[in-house]
């Protein structure tokens, strides 16, 4: 298949050219619809919709195409807009098709068919017919979607803000985009694309690469980069397993009072306030008392810490629940280096009873790692040749 642009041996010379990166499902719908129209029909509709933006006193509500298509458009504009809306199963809003159009033209997915109407190219047909196929991979490589997957695979779970700096650095090398708003927009549109294809997940504002995303990355990324990424992932997985094992062994050997203070520090990292280690005997099994904001209310919580290998039973849950009144608490937590019996898990959230949160050894280590308590994270720098920078110098030298 044809490919434009000067590419480096590892693909790093590709340039990002499309700011509004579309969701591929929407683009596939449009590539099936546009061939029944001319290029001037498509660009004419875009021009007409741009003229209908309205003003602050009389804005246009674009969210419901059923309400504005017939009211605002006529002639070929109306015909095309209705085709887009209806033939896509009302999943593609005709107002937001400029991004898909630009992408289809930049990469020659559609061309003039000679009779006036647009026609699909070989690349366009491949894109429609083969999800994760050759054409789709080309767009991902060229437009930075693969680079974004690499960034996420390297960083682990990350909020969008944490991705901005590495993404901006990538765009600085591989595009003409410089304004902060454009950089944010290109990142957001590509995250939406990857989410829609289930190559990444989003949980509590943090993005992670899915197993499907990792498999796609290993298949599509330039071979040398893919091999290095797999080696890095294997190394980090082994290292994390070793650190978890060492942490668990150390927790079991800690002084009980020191362990209580460690749990108190974890609670503080989780935004609990007024955290206090009781340090008392005869306290009903309560080792730490703290407060947490729930909406507009601050509630008191008691925590029992159990540093041993014995599985926690339902009676332990009942005992802590019975201590709530002494501390004027409304809920409790049991933190253990071991695990919980089935009965304990069932009784923790018994209907009509005060809730008891259960944190087992695995979850405790997760929290220590997340908040970097007793754990130190190290960044790994991976170098790659800046083929584009070298090409720019070579072009200057060649006159």
pLDDT digits (tens, 9 = 90+) for 311-328: 999 999 999 999 999 999
The stretch 254-276 carries a mean pLDDT of 94
pLDDT at 231 (0 to 100): 74
pLDDT higher than 90, residue 285 = no
Residue 5, pLDDT above cutoff 50: no
Mean pLDDT for the stretch of residues 347-355: 91
Residue with tokens 């020191």: 258
Mean pLDDT of the chain: 88
Are the CB atoms for 266 and 371 separated by under 8 Å? yes
The answer, yes or no, to whether residue 156 has pLDDT greater than 80, is yes
Q: Check pLDDT > 70 for residue 2.
A: no
> For residue 294, how many other CB atoms are within 10 A of its CB?
11
pLDDT at site 277: 93
Across 363-378, average pLDDT = 92
pLDDT at 3: 33
Rounded Cα distance, 278 and 257, in Å? 10
Question: Worst-scoring range by mean pLDDT, 143-147, 242-246, 281-285, 308-312?
Answer: 281-285
User: Would you state the pLDDT for residue 9?
Assistant: 37
Euclidean distance between CA atoms 124 and 359, whole angstroms: 52
Least trusted range by pLDDT, from 85-94, 185-194, 257-266, 382-391? 382-391
pLDDT over threshold 70, residue 4: no
pLDDT of residue 215: 93
Tell the CATH topology of 24-219. Answer: Arc Repressor Mutant, subunit A (1.10.10)
Which of 85-89, 341-345, 376-380 is least confident?
Answer: 376-380
Model pLDDT for residues 96-152, shown as the tens digit of each residue: 999 999 999 999 999 998 888 999 999 999 999 999 999 999 999 999 999 999 999
- The model's pTM is 0.56
11-15, 55-59, 78-82 — most confident range: 78-82
Looking at residue 54, what is its pLDDT? 65
Give the model's pLDDT for residue 99.
Answer: 94
H or E stretch covering 366: helix 361-370
Residues whose CB is less than 8 angstroms from the CB of residue 350 and which lie 6 or more positions away in sequence, other chains included: none
Which uninterrupted H or E stretch holds 50?
helix 39-51
Rounded CA separation 72/154 (Å)? 48
Between 60 and 17, the higher pLDDT residue:
17
Is residue 29 within 8 A of residue 91, CB to CB? The reply is: yes
Three-class secondary structure assignment of the chain = CCCCCCCCCCCCCCCECCCCCCCHHHHHHHHHHHHHCEHHHHHHHHHHHHHCCEECCEECCCCCHHHHHHHHCCHHHHHHHHHHHHHCCCCCCHHHCHHHHHHHHHCCCEEECCCCEEEECHHHHHHHHCCCCHHHHHHHHHCCHHHHHHHHHHHCCEEHHHHHHHHHHHHHHHECCCCHHHHHHHHHHHHHHHHHCCCEEEECCEEEECHHHHHHHHHHCCHHHHHHHHHHHHHHHHHHHHHHHHHHHHHHHCCHHHHHHHHHHHHHHCCCEEEEECCCCCCCCCCEEEEEEECCEEEEEEEEEECCCCCECHHHHHHHHHCCHHHCCCEEEEEECCCECHHHHHHHCCCCCCCEEEECHHHHHHHHHHCCCCCCCCCCCCCCCCHHHHHHHHHHHCC
CATH of domain 256-370: 3.40.1350.10
Q: What is the mean pLDDT of residues 157-166?
A: 93
- Locate the domains of the chain by residue range: 24-219, 256-370
Q: Give the pLDDT band of residue 391 (cuts 50, 70, 90).
A: low
């Amino acid at each position: 298949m044809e490919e434009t642009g000067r590419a480096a041996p590892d693909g790093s010379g590709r340039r990002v050219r499309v700011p509004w990166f579309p969701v591929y499902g929407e683009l596939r719908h449009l590539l099936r619809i546009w061939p029944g129209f001319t290029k001037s029909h498509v660009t004419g509709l875009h021009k007409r919709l741009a003229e209908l933006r309205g003003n602050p006193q009389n804005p246009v509500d674009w969210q419901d195409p059923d309400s504005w298509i017939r009211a605002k458009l006529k002639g070929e504009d109306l015909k095309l807009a209705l085709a887009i809306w209806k033939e896509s199963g009302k999943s593609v809003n005709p107002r937001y098709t400029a991004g898909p159009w630009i992408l289809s033209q930049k990469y020659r997915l559609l061309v003039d068919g000679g009779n006036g109407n647009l026609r699909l190219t070989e690349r366009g047909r491949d894109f429609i017919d083969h999800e994760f196929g050759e054409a789709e991979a080309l767009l991902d490589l060229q437009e930075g979607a693969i680079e974004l997957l690499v960034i996420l695979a390297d960083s682990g779970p990350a909020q969008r803000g944490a991705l901005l700096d590495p993404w901006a650095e990538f765009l600085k090398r591989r595009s003409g985009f410089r304004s902060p708003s454009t950089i944010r927009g290109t990142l957001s549109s590509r995250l939406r694309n990857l989410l829609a294809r289930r190559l990444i997940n989003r949980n509590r504002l943090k993005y992670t690469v899915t197993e499907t995303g990792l498999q796609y990355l290993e298949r599509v990324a330039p071979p040398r980069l893919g091999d290095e990424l797999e080696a890095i992932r294997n190394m980090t997985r082994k290292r994390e397993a070793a650190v978890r094992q060492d942490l668990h062994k150390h927790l079991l050997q800690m002084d009980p009072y020191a362990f209580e203070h460690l749990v108190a520090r974890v609670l503080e990292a989780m935004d609990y306030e007024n955290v206090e280690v009781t340090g008392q005997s005869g306290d009903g099994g309560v080792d730490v008392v703290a407060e947490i904001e729930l909406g507009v209310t601050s509630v008191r919580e008691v925590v029992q810490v159990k540093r041993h290998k014995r599985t926690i039973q339902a009676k332990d849950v009942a005992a802590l629940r019975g201590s709530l009144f002494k501390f004027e608490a409304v809920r409790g937590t049991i933190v253990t280096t071991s695990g919980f019996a089935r009965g304990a898990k069932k009784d923790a959230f018994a209907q009509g009873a005060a809730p008891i949160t259960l944190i087992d050894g695995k979850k405790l280590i997760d929290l220590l790692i997340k908040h970097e308590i007793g754990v130190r994270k190290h960044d790994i720098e991976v170098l790659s040749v800046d083929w584009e920078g070298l090409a720019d110098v070579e072009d200057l030298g060649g006159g």
